[in-house]
Chains A and B, each alone.
Chain A
Amino acid sequence: MQNETSLIEFSPEKDPFRNSRKKSSRRWILAHIFHDTNKIFIFIVLFTTILTANLATIIFVFIGNAITAILNLNIPIFMNIFIIIIILSFTNPGMRLANFMLREVIAQRMERDTRKEFFINLLGKSQSFHDQQKIGELMARATDDVRTLNYFISPAVSLILESFTDLVVPVIYIAIFYPVQLIIEPIIFVILFLIALRSYINKIGPISFDLRMNFGLMDATLNESLTGIEVVKGTAQEDREIRKYLYNIQKYKDAFVKQGIVQAKYLPILLLALIITIAFGHSVLLFYLGLMNIGQIIAYLGILNLLYFPTNISIFVFAIIRLAGASAKRILEYMNMETKIDENINGVIKKIQGQILFENVSFKYPNSKNFVLKNLNFEIQPGKTVAIVGTTGAGKTTLTKLITRLYDVSEGRILIDGIDVRDYALKSLRSQISFIEQDVFLFSSSIFDNITFGRIGSLDEVIEVAKQAQAHEFISELPDEYYSEIGERGVQLSGGERQRIAIARAFLSDPPVLILDDSTSAIDSKTEDQIQFAIRNILRNRTTFLITHRLSQIRWADLILVLQNGELIAMGTHEDLLCNSEEYRKIFIKKFDLEEQKLIKGGLEECLSD
């Protein structure tokens, strides 16, 4: 029974963006922009943007009038206008400041809220989802992409708004205060500007991309050469690495020069300058026709010069907008993913004893053609230990993932205590199966917190389990003992030590089924003893799947599964395998220089005849 539901496992508060997420990235961004109190801010931002454009333009109109007053030697009027200009000159910067501040609030909120939304959403997704993700990708969404959305608001969209008003408002003022025909020049400029801008963006886009890509290659190549410097020197291949790098920096240089040339060809500035010149001529003509005075000409020129700002700014803005669109899509892609494992709330809830049966189990990943596990059949009784051995990629870890339903089997079934795992309530199933992974993850809090993460315990209980996990000794030697902080700013622990803390945690939570992926190795016997004892202690009284390379663990497991390419090529106890598997025999023969005769009691022939 596979219902595809996207049950949310964690939801701390109301989610105002649920619907917009499903619709489109545009809608979603808009939902954030207009969220809550932002609406007021947006209104103020729009208002102040238009206002500042007006103020900047009107100052010139007044300057024109001031000049006229001067020429007419009209001092009182000049003084009046002068005072107005003073007021405007102080008001404008104030308005702009308010405008900038408010748009920043919207932008920073965008980043904060999208990050929070993403985090909550992902936290609520099931384990199956997370197991399929690369942390690096998730991080990039939560850091770089939300940052891009921030920049989208400020500076990108705000600058576009500003540029727009800075283009439109002056034209309107020209039409109002001066002969209407004078708007021809600025309008022609705006049209030509937009055409030139579009063409520029289309040219520079691929070139900038090229440049970034080449830089990335340069970085990767150099990084690799230096990381492998021992090999480079050992094989005397310095020249080869130099050649690789020269190739990369040449490509970078070519892209760099290309970009410089395209940037140099940016036309709008030229267009504006030429148009202003023509406009000057036009206004002079009008003067000679008696339709304008000198003050107005000067004001007119001043207003046209305001157009330089949007012309200069526009180059930077469009790149950000394109990036923002891509970022939004990526973030939404993750948030809208649904996992296909049914939580089965109404399923079986019972205390697991630990009998596990794999019946004709085959598995392939959802979007893949090849079977990773083929026709596995085995049974394990409660409390026994299964050692899973094989080379990398044989399917060892995948096998264990099926038990906790991180993925469901493609064929066959898995029974725990006689009940199909799919019939259990997922929470009940998962809370009774613990997993100690290869690279043990510990939270950056105290050792005590890490050990009691799943079950509250007193310090005495924690010390007790730590002793069983052979961790008490090294913990006691730390400055703050059990309260030592782990992590970047805390104590650094070795792989073996982390493993033993995870084992202590498992002791405390005491699951009936344990999956232990052991990849630690010890250089010295003392550490090896500790790891061995810790593992052997945790194996007791629970069904354990042990993925290990340690011959001692394998030798004494109740059942050994040998996997190769997803197939069970041998199965049984150590003695069974010595009989049946030549490769297994070879391990012991080779490693300990044993003779076949001595290895198998009674000899190989007797064994085969059983």
Chain B
Amino acid sequence: MFIGLEAEEYDRVYSTSTLIRRIFSYFSPYKKQMILVITFLIISSLTSAIEPVIISIAINMVISSVDFTIIIFLIIIIFILTGSSWIFNYIRQKYSARVIGSVIYDIRKNAQNSVLNLDLSFFDKNPTGKIVSRINTDSNDFGDTVDLSIQVISSVVVLIILIIIVSLVNFILTLILLSAIPLFFLGTLLFTKFARKMTLLGQRALASVNSIIKESFSGIQIAKTFRQESKLYEKFNKVNKQAYSVNLRRAFTLNAIFPSLNLIQGVVLILLLYFGGNYVITGAINIGEFNLFIQSLNLIFFPLLTIASFWPQFQSGLSASERIFALIDTQPVVVQKNDIKSGKLKGKVEIQNLIFQYDKNKNVFENFSLKIEPGESVAIVGHTGAGKSSLAKLLARFYEYQGGEILIDGTSIRDYNLKEYRRQIGLISQTPFLWADTVENNIKYSNESASRDDVKQALEVSGGYEWIENLPEGLDTDVRERGNLLSMGQRQLVVFARVLLENPSILILDEATASIDPFTETKIQDALEKTIENRTSIIIAHRLWTVRHVDRIVVLDHGTIVEEGDHDELMKLGGYYANLYTVYFRHQSLQYIEDMGKSKV
């Protein structure tokens, strides 16, 4: 089970029959309603198909000067049929909206559930936007297709009934009528293909325009400073004109469909008139039947259009369902073997002969062992790709390892109840993520029952509370998407407070590398100091201060420990760590800062 492979290729191909069976299974909880839908569908189609027949009978009666009251009677029947057809259709639409709504709900629920239980490697490989689009938008497309399918069934029923009726009257005329069908389909299919290509071109042209506009507005300050507005305008004008011609061509193509279909209708009408007229003259059919054919031509227009545009829509609906099912069927790689409740852990970490591959053919850890005592603080350092963040993520059980063992308090992390275990771990990632909610709610995220005082206390301990008072609404300030309202440093402080409130047994911290103002940085140092006190802490260190204040530094190189000790010891060694220091930490030292100034003139 190599994580890389599975995650990248989670899309699978389902056979059409499997797909349809699976789709049906989503409808089976709503069997009763579906039966209602189909029943009313058929009835309403029947009634609408029979109307023209009755009118044609009425016309014949009129010619034969039948008693007027009988005609009135027929008309009343038509009236009632029309009314009932509408009512049946209403009921049908109501129930189909309910059923489709429920099915879409179920699909979305399953998809989100499935996705949330996947491990982190899945999210590494797949952008959030695409996943969201699958769950929300593809399910919508699927719903539209089901709706269209129901309409198509209705159209097909109407069509079949009409054709049966008219074929009983006159075979040749029926043939003429039927000739419209293949022509219609061909026309619509051709157009759909062409239209899709044109639409793509149109979208691309528009994308160019948009990117020029975005760029122009983004760089307006520079353009104005250097008085280069006309340069921007020229670029814009060019693509705007291009988009105009491309879109015009596209619109022309799309607009040609209806007139073409009308033309086909017209040709069939002419043929019907000619042959039908002749048949009336020779007495093969009567006027009522003649009218029936003329009316049928109009009646089959919309159903034919629906059926003809059905196929591509059906295909896209099937693809949509395929994509969603692939998502639902993706299995998480991280699977627990047991369900031991961890309770409050002491925080003893033992990694034994760990083997971990993220991508096939690339070992991150080959035979890695490490022991950490409860309450010990350990800094992990090494070049990029040494395996630092993988280690942290493995401990959080975000990825599955292939060999060796990771034991916490003597039990393998595979054997714990995962949710309970994770609650014992406090994780602070490099770029802190906050919810678009208040500061208070962010800090209380995993502790909904905490009080405001608890929150204040946690903030007090992690760097101080005063900075909150400078926010527009203090603790109730909405920090916006991802916490954008706050600076990077401030977001870190919020996350520290949250973790302190969680009071985990093990802290895993991936230090930020972004630039933070010196005042907030000081607060973060305070927060860090307090947080690692008496708590097992594993820190991927980027700050000089951190490596100088932890109990132990572990130096990684390509998944192996090359040196271990505290800062002064390792510097004395003058080896790998000393080299690392020169590359990553030296510029944070007081010496460097002092030296910088000496060359200033």
Contacts and interface: CB of A to CB of B under 8 A. Distances in A.
Given A139-B217, A294-B63, A551-B593, A525 B132 contact: no
Interface in B244-288: 244, 247-248, 251-252, 255-256, 258-260, 262-263, 266-267, 269-270, 273-274, 277, 280-281, 287
A260 interface: yes
A97 B120 contact: no
A161 to B, nearest CB: 15
Nearest to B525: A590
Contacts of A232: 116
Interface stretch (B177-185, B186-194, B208-216, B309-317): B208-216
Given A259-B97, A525-B586, A592-B590, A540 B220 contact: no
Q: Across the A-B interface, give the 10 residue pairs with the lowest CB-CB distance, nearest first.
A: A260-B97, A89-B266, A392-B487, A264-B93, A454-B226, A234-B427, A556-B597, A235-B446, A100-B255, A521-B515
**Among B71, B101, B218, B233: residue with most chain A CB under 10 A:** B101
A215 B140 CA distance: 10
30 contacts: A66-B277, A97-B256, A107-B251, A112-B240, A119-B240, A123-B233, A127-B225, A130-B217, A131-B221, A133-B217, A222-B132, A226-B123, A228-B433, A231-B427, A236-B423, A253-B101, A257-B97, A261-B93, A284-B62, A297-B59, A305-B298, A391-B489, A437-B221, A518-B515, A520-B515, A521-B514, A540-B601, A554-B518, A556-B600, A583-B522
B135 interface: yes
B277 A287 contact: no
Contact of B420 (A215, A231, A236): A236
B93 A263 contact: yes
A168 interface: no
A410 interface: no
Contacts of B210: 139, 142-143
A242 B116 contact: yes
B582 interface: yes
B259 A96 contact: yes
Nearest to B55: A280
Contacts of A219: 132, 136
Interface stretch (A24-32, A353-361, A428-436, A465-473): A428-436
A391 B490 contact: yes
Contacts of A73: 281
A135 B218 contact: yes
Given A92-B262, A235-B423, A260 B96 contact: yes
Interface string A109-127: 1011001100110111011
A519 B502 contact: no
A365 interface: no
B445 interface: yes
Given A235-B423, A536-B600, A453 B222 contact: yes
Contact of A284 (B68, B98, B274): B68
B579 to A, nearest CB: 11
Interface string B463-498: 000010010000000000110001101100000000
Given A96-B259, A521-B514, A89 B267 contact: yes
Interface residues of A, number: 153
B237 interface: yes
B519 A583 contact: yes
Interface string B110-140: 0011011100100100001101100110001
A230 B430 CA distance: 11
Given A143-B206, A298-B59, A549 B221 contact: no
**Among A238, A259, A509: residue with most chain B CB under 10 A:** A238
B23 interface: no
Contacts of B267: 89
Contact of A90 (B115, B263, B398): B263
Given A242-B112, A593-B548, 15 more contacts: A71-B280, A96-B259, A107-B251, A108-B251, A123-B220, A215-B136, A245-B112, A284-B71, A297-B62, A389-B518, A392-B489, A441-B221, A443-B222, A518-B515, A556-B596
Interface string B433-464: 10110000000011000000000000000000
